[in-house]
């Protein structure tokens, strides 16, 4: 391993092929971090191009977070590595207009398994690789706030992120003596494939601040639910 690779801090960014995850990889690189970024399957992605331009500072791993054997495989491949940050960004949505009564069971399972169960399986499976004073983060959403839900809409998606928040609180409660920072991040409504063209923010308006917020909580033990500007989101 090259010396410059050892000196810099390293983040494992799960779900970095495109959208917010890809932009986070780019931003971390600018801020002098090394990145292990994950994609699904073998398709070529923007992350591969970033990796080629990165002089070895962006490594690529493949993982579908809904596949427990792939999480275990990644853990085994990274065994012995020390991560300064683990951040699980991967997530999906469904038709935002469907009320919870209209959602099919299949769709319910797909969104809940991807957004709530699988990120926690990644956290539970890989957290031991994270340094004692490192950061473990998961991409939540402002839509996961129970108290801010005064409008309905995106009901399944909201429920999946609220469940994710609750599971992360359980993880935090079980690890309350831990010195690591734990973060649930709300990136704002951003123009990506998931956010859609009408979203309020561009990726450039969200991600640099979001990464700045993540880096600012580094070294602060305990769980925080924060937006991209570092403001507390009500649970």
Ligand X SMILES: NC(=O)c1ccc[n+]([C@@H]2O[C@H](COP(=O)([O-])OP(=O)(O)OC[C@H]3O[C@@H](n4cnc5c(N)ncnc54)[C@H](OP(=O)(O)O)[C@@H]3O)[C@@H](O)[C@H]2O)c1
Q: Which of 19, 134, 137, 159 binds ligand X (CB under 6 A)?
A: 19
Binding segment (CB under 6 A) for ligand X, from list 84-92, 148-156, 168-176, 211-219: 84-92
User: 18 or 175: whose CB is closer to ligand X?
Assistant: 18
Task: Tell the smallest beta-carbon distance from residue 138 to ligand X (Å).
Answer: 8
The window from 1-9, 25-33, 52-60, 87-95 that contacts ligand X (CB under 6 A) reads 87-95
15 is an interface residue for ligand X by CB under 6 A: yes
Q: Is 120 in the site for ligand X (CB under 6 A)?
A: no
* Contacts of ligand X in 91-110 (CB under 6 A): 91-92
Q: Which is nearer to ligand X, 145 or 192 (CB)?
A: 192
Q: Would you say 201 and 189 are in contact if contact means Cβ atoms under 8 Å apart?
A: yes
What is the smallest separation between the CB atom of 200 and ligand X, expressed in angstroms?
A: 8
Beta-ladder partners of 181: 135, 222
Q: Which stretch binds ligand X (CB under 6 A): 10-18, 121-129, 167-175, 207-215?
A: 10-18
Work out how close the CB of 18 gets to ligand X at its nearest, in angstroms, rounded to a whole number: 5
Reported for 120-124, long-range contacts at CB under 8 A and 24+ positions apart, including other chains, are: 120/164, 120/167, 120/168, 120/171, 121/65, 121/68, 121/71, 122/14, 122/65, 122/71, 122/86, 122/88, 123/86, 123/88, 123/168, 123/171, 124/171
Confirm or reject binding of residue 199 to ligand X (CB under 6 A).
yes
Task: Tell me which residues touch ligand X (CB under 6 A).
Answer: 15, 17-21, 39-40, 64-66, 89-92, 114, 139, 141, 187, 189-190, 192-195, 199
């Amino acid at each position: 391993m090259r010396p410059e690779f050892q000196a810099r801090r390293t983040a494992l960014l799960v779900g970095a092929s495109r959208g917010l995850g890809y932009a986070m990889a780019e931003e971390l690189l600018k801020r002098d971090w090394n990145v292990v970024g994950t994609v699904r399957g073998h398709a070529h992605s923007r992350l591969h191009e970033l990796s080629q331009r990165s002089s070895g500072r962006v490594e690529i791993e493949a993982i579908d977070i809904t596949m427990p054997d792939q999480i275990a495989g990644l853990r085994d491949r990274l065994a012995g590595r020390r991560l300064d940050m683990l951040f699980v960004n991967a997530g999906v949505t469904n038709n935002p207009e469907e009320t919870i009564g209209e959602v099919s069971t299949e769709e319910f399972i797909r969104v809940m398994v991807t957004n709530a169960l699988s990120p926690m399986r990644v956290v539970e499976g890989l957290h031991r690789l994270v340094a004692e004073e490192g950061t473990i983060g998961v991409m939540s959403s402002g839509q996961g706030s129970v108290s801010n839900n005064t409008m309905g809409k995106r009901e399944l998606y909201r429920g999946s992120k609220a469940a994710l928040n609750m599971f992360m609180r359980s993880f935090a409660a079980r690890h309350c003596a831990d010195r690591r920072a734990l973060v649930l991040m709300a990136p704002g409504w951003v123009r990506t494939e998931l956010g859609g063209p009408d979203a309020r923010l561009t990726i450039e308006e969200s991600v640099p601040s979001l990464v700045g917020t993540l880096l600012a909580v580094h070294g602060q033990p305990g769980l925080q639910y924060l937006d991209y500007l570092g403001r507390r989101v009500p649970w």
